[in-house]
Structure formats: C-alpha cells, structure tokens
Amino acid sequence: MKLTKHTDYALRILMYAALQPEGQLLSIQEVTDTYDLSRNHVMKIVQKLGHEGYLKTLRGKGGGFTLGKPPEDINLGELVLCMETTMKVVECDQPLCRISPGCELKGVLAEAVAAFMAVLNRYSLADLIGNRKELIKLLAIA
C-alpha cells in the first residue's frame, strides 16, 4: 500500500502544526520552507485540511492556519481515507481484466487494505508527535 504525496504532505503539515505553541498561526511559506515542498501543493492541502476541519484557516493579511482540533482527536485512518482518492491496490475493472470474474486476488488485496486501515485506525496525530522534543529540534521550531 502506497500513500499519495498529497496524503504524505498532509500528515507532515498536521504534525508541524501540532508541534507549534497552541494558537500560533502558521504560514504556507513556513511549511514550504521547512519541508522543501511546492507552495502550490501545500496551498491545496491546507485548503482541503481546513475544509475537513483538521485545520483552522484565517485568510487575508495576518492570516494563516493552526490545528483545528486536538492531536488526539485526529485519527490517522480517517485522515488517510479523507485524503486518498481511492484505497484500491489494483484496478481490476480499468480496463476490465479478463480473469476478474474468477480471480481471488482482489479479495486478498481488499483484506490487506482492511488490515492496513485497521492499524492506522489505532493511532492518532498525537501518537506521531510523541517524540515532541526531538521533532521540534529537527524541524527547528522556536
């Protein structure tokens, strides 16, 4: 199972926001500089995370974003489902596979995805920032 860059960046953005002092507004530029990411990608992801309630966003001069809910309330499985366009490992119907009607592979892969999601569902954003001091040091957060 491979997550898209969109989801990877969303996780990084949320971790960065969760490590900030409470209520501190972050800028798109700060995140792009910290992780060396495309500004356009970060803007789209922050917009989606804001729309979904993971971030609070404030537009205009002096605006920015901050975490929208406590880290322990952000479930990783739910976040991944929100960010990923599909959880299919293979596309058996695009184009239609000749053996699809009798193939057991799609069932096995569906079980693997379910197991993957079950693990993610056991964790929250708070679990990802458990090593808070080290992460703050690595990200050079003041």
Could you list the residue range(s) of the whole structural domain that residue 81 is in? 5-138
Whole-angstrom CA distances from 54 to 62, 73, 83 are 20, 9, 11
CA–CA separation, 136 and 44 (whole Å): 25
How many domains would you assign to the chain?
1
Distance, in Å, from the CA atom of 100 to the CA atom of 118, rounded to the nearest integer, reads: 26
- Element holding 55 (H helix, E strand): strand 55-58
Query: Residue 132: which CATH number?
Result: 1.10.10.10
Q: Which residues pair with 56 in a beta bridge?
A: 66
Contact call for residues 17 and 67 (beta carbons, < 8 A): yes
CA distance 57 to 51: 9
Q: Which residue has the higher pLDDT, 76 or 89?
A: 76
Assign 142 a pLDDT band (cuts: 50, 70, 90): low
What tens digit of pLDDT does each residue of 10-60 get? 999 999 999 999 889 999 999 999 999 999 999 999 999 999 999 999 988
